[in-house]
Chains A and B, each alone.
Chain A
Amino acid sequence: MAGGGAAKRDAGDSGFLGFRSVSVDPGAARRRKRGPRNKKRGWRRLAEEPLGKEVDTFLEDVRLQERTAGGLIAETPDENLFFVDTGVGKNLLFGLAGGKGAPQIAFLSPLFGKPFGTLGQIWGKGDFWGGLLDKVVFLVNLKPLKRSSLQLREGESLAGSPRGSMGLDSSPRQLPVRLLVIEGIRLHTLISFFFPFLQRPQRLQTKPSQAPAVEVIPSGGSYNPSFQDHQALLREAHEVELQRQKVEEKLSRQLAFPTVDKAPTQESEFKELCEGLLEESDGETPAEPEGEGEADSQTQRPPGPEKKTEQQRRREKEARKLKAQQAAERAAKKRHQEVFQLRGIRLQVARRLAELARRRERRRLKRLAEDEKPRRLGRLKYQAPDIDVQLSTELADLEEPEGSILRDRFKSFQRRNMIEPRERARFKRKYKVKLVEKRSFREFP
């Protein structure tokens, strides 16, 4: 058992290449055994089980290694696993292992024999563009190399890669990286080396709003507008202002203190307190005779229908049966007739479909209209900026432009749902400021 455990560890430790069973089937390891855990017996049973399983997983691992690497990795010589370029002095050889958790990287250069660090650490060093590769061994050369020196297998090309056509200065192409492809690597992995970062999902390419980035001010906002345009813009601004004033007035009206004649007096307050009490006592007295009447009517209930005779029952039953039969006949006849109504039915169906299409269209338009509006993205609602106007008296005065472009840009970002509307964080003191007069400065009366 001990030997098996050691062998297992060996197999597992060489797993920076990602041959660990965990990295292959992460779902299997994650599954937790179910069973009661609050009793001693349950724990015991749980403890017993892994033994068999451990052996199982070990054997599975061995099989996996045989399948993928052609033998136990621990036993294969390094030359078969990696390409060690000993020609240039400063070459470093990395092994990368994908899978769950932080990918492991090992230095396998003869200069440094020990593991180097995690991917994140190497990233932190800056000049390394290693990506989320799995099972790639590659060589980092410290001399800048051209793309042509990238070794590709015959018939494969990187032409179809979505590397875009931007003129990036420091594209990975110019980084001092040379790839050496081990057998059986997929082209996809290779490409993913050049695009080491996660591909941006397609859904992020759509903008959160269809509104234009730069909304041009209406014609009335010209520095020398025509009369009509200017008036139109002024009117618009005026209406906004009017609406605002209305809201303000309403608020002030609602919050206003009542005038003297409307203010509650002692008498009215008392009346309000007694509201409903007096009326109830009034209402009770006439209610009594009514209650008596009800009681009477309950006792003198008219007798129910008399018992039916046998004949009556039979006749009713027959009548019912006949009715049902007739209804069935009618339905059958109608169904039969429907054959001749095909045209009408088709018309009906067409009409129905048209109606549905119309509704769909309406819903779509409604959704579009909804999309136009700015979304509610936080505590605050988006508030449209004021319409910038210059009054007739201030026109043609370019020294003092209206509004601020900075604010416009800021509001535009909010309008297009790119940032949430926010208030400036206000400075709030946690404690009260205590004012102490220094003794030496104290003024004596």
Chain B
Amino acid sequence: MGGLEKKKYERGSATNYITRNKARKKLQLSLADFRRLCILKGIYPHEPKHKKKVNKGSTAARTFYLLKDIKFLLHEPIVNKFRDYKVFVRKLRKAYGKSEWNTVERLKDNKPIYKLDHIIKERYPSFIDALRDLDDALSMCFLFSTFPRTGKCHVQTIQLCRRLTVEFLNYIIASRALRKVFLSIKGIYYQAEVLGQPIVWITPYAFSHNHPTDVDYRVMATFTEFYTTLLGFVNFRLYQTLNLQYPPKLERPKDQESKDQDEEAYAMDSESSLEKLSALSASLARVVVPVTEEEEQMDEFPVDGENAEQEEGLRKEREAQEKHKKLFEGLKFFLNREVPREALAFIIRSFGGEVSWDKSLCIGATFEEKEPSITHQIVDRPLPPVPIIGRCYVQPQWVFDSVNARLRLPVEDYFPGVLLPPHLSPFVIEKEGDYVPPEKLKLLALQRGETPGKEAESESEEEEEEEEEEEGEEEEDGEGGDDQEEEEEEEGSEKEEEAKLKVMEAQRTQTKKPQVTMGTLDKRRQLPQEEENEAKRLAIMTMRKREKYLYDKIMFGKRRKVREANKLAQKRKAHDEALKAEKKQQKKARRA
């Protein structure tokens, strides 16, 4: 009997959501402003579970927001600023139309501006929260800082992004926080560890600008606006943690007068500080100069049996990290003008190396090419006719690979003109049973402290080698010493390849046919293992049919993975052999 009639769509999910258009009207904003507001405040659209209910019976695809979120937006003070701005534009247009220049001036002086400080604080209640969102901020800022100043976005934004990113890079250098580098076909990926948080960002290569048309620049500019504010605060805080001055200042070099003259050639006084900062060659001034940098000693706790291994592992990891931070310490690099200066300078400096470049290339060069104490010169072109003795000439990839390998790799593979080993991604972590490429295997061996290149070769290969050597000797008589050098290089690379193959083969044989060695059975050791096996077998036997099926499938999958890995290894071997044969043929052809 009776009761009020229940109306549809007046309760439940239909009332929890609001369409974008309705939300816009509620806030009295234009669509562009609404979108801007949502991005700034971190309010994102929602997909309701029951769209038809929410959409009041219609199935049209719409953008929904939570009503609660929109109500929250209603309290935002910058909404008023948006409205003010709208009015401002209207007045300005009118004044222009009437040619009332005084009014235009006055209006322009009182242009409404808004600040995002309170939003930053609201969205990131703790500093760690802000750090977690830094990936986006950095990527966007690095991207925008490389934009040409052609009007795709405001020049001020570009400059601001540039300044912020340079400040951040300087912090990374000062804190030695860089961990990984990966040169990809898109750009350079970096990973740093800031206050225990891993931060990944990508920087584009210089001068790579094809502006895609399917990207909404307004949206991207809004994101950047927000992220620049965030990065500004974060930089400030980071500098504070290291007792660095903010805004950053460079440590004054001792021979001041000579430098100042050079600087004028590059930049005006107003810009020179930023330019010098962005050269990344000098270290930053500290608020309090540390007297002696004492190594922090970790507290030692008495270990109990279970945690001992873990503790040990952690300690080792820590030590390795400390060592990694000092990777290039004591080395002096000189960059030739054809190599990417900024990336290399950043990486070398953030591992403790000293770096310089040609004075005409960029501001902030600290020493000249002739300096005898230079240990490495990075080149990407054929060697000069008279190389300077006492330094290694290497290709830039050596730096990147060394950083990723956490040790100074042997420079022989990276001499100019040598075919480089592949640049592997440090972000890929192989699981057990996955195919591991031979290059990685070699690297792992190097990290363990072995030198796989100098191991004894297998017999057949050795013979081959001898043959080649003989051939080489024959040739040597005919030709000069120049050829000999080349020969040696090539042989070197071949040797390595063979070494790689050997390692790979060894692994393959390990997986394929386990070697059987007769020996006395150690009963004590055998027993628990056997018991374990027995238990496993029993467990398999007592499995239910369905579970058994699943188990079989899993095991099959595992085996298939191994099989595939083997196949890949074999394929690789075939590929390498083919390459080798081809090379040999070429060599022969050349000789003939």
Contacts and interface: CB of A to CB of B under 8 A. Distances in A.
A222 B201 contact: no
A377 interface: yes
Given A166-B130, A224-B422, A377-B63, A409 B140 contact: yes
B220 A409 contact: yes
A417 B66 CA distance: 14
Interface string B414-448: 00000010111101100000010101000000000
A229 B381 CA distance: 27
Interface string A121-139: 0011000000010000000
B189 interface: yes
B319 to A, nearest CB: 27
Contacts, number: 206
A208 B44 contact: yes
A170 B115 contact: yes
B182 A390 contact: no
A82 to B, nearest CB: 26
A376 interface: yes
Contact of A214 (B202, B215, B571, B575): B202
Given A401-B186, A420-B63, A216 B420 contact: no
A166 B124 contact: yes
B185 interface: yes
Contacts of A379: 61-62
B220 A168 contact: no
A168 B126 CA distance: 12
Contacts of A225: 422-423
B110 to A, nearest CB: 11
Contacts of A170: 115, 117
Nearest to B31: A425
A204 B216 contact: no
Contacts of A216: 182, 184, 189, 200, 425, 427
Interface string A167-193: 111110000000000000000000000
Contact of B135 (A167, A212, A410): A212
Interface stretch (B164-172, B232-240, B256-264, B370-378): B232-240
B214 interface: yes
B184 A217 contact: yes
Interface in B545-592: 568, 571-572, 575
Contacts of B47: 375-377, 417
A167 B77 contact: no
Interface stretch (A18-26, A194-202, A277-285, A427-435): A194-202
A7 interface: no
Interface string B224-264: 00000000010011001000000000000000000000000
A281 B473 CA distance: 102
A197 B45 contact: no
B75 A227 contact: no
A406 B212 contact: yes
A405 B427 contact: no
Contacts of A204: 42-43, 69, 72
A269 to B, nearest CB: 37
A222 B236 CA distance: 34
A201 B72 contact: yes
A165 B127 contact: yes
Interface residues of A, number: 64
Contact of A401 (B122, B126, B208): B208
A152 B193 CA distance: 41
B63 to A, nearest CB: 4
A120 interface: yes
B205 interface: yes
A213 B135 CA distance: 6
B157 to A, nearest CB: 14
Nearest to A204: B42
A218 B572 CA distance: 19
Contacts of A164: 121, 124-127
Given A124-B84, A166-B130, A228-B572, A218 B425 contact: yes
A168 B120 contact: yes
Interface in A199-238: 200-201, 204-205, 208, 212-214, 216-219, 221-229
A120 B80 contact: yes
A444 B428 CA distance: 75
Nearest to A400: B208
Contacts of B8: none
Contacts of A217: 182, 184-186, 189, 425
Contacts of A222: 182-185, 422-425
- Which one of B77, B184, B200, B211 has the highest number of Cβ atoms from chain A below 10 Å of its Cβ? B184
A164 B117 CA distance: 13
B220 A406 contact: yes
Interface string A152-170: 0000000000111111111
Contacts of A197: 75-77, 118, 122
A57 to B, nearest CB: 28
Nearest to A221: B184
The 3 closest A-B pairs by CB, nearest first: A213-B135, A226-B422, A219-B425
15 contacts: A123-B77, A163-B121, A164-B126, A168-B121, A170-B117, A200-B125, A205-B129, A219-B427, A223-B183, A224-B183, A229-B422, A379-B61, A401-B187, A419-B35, A420-B45
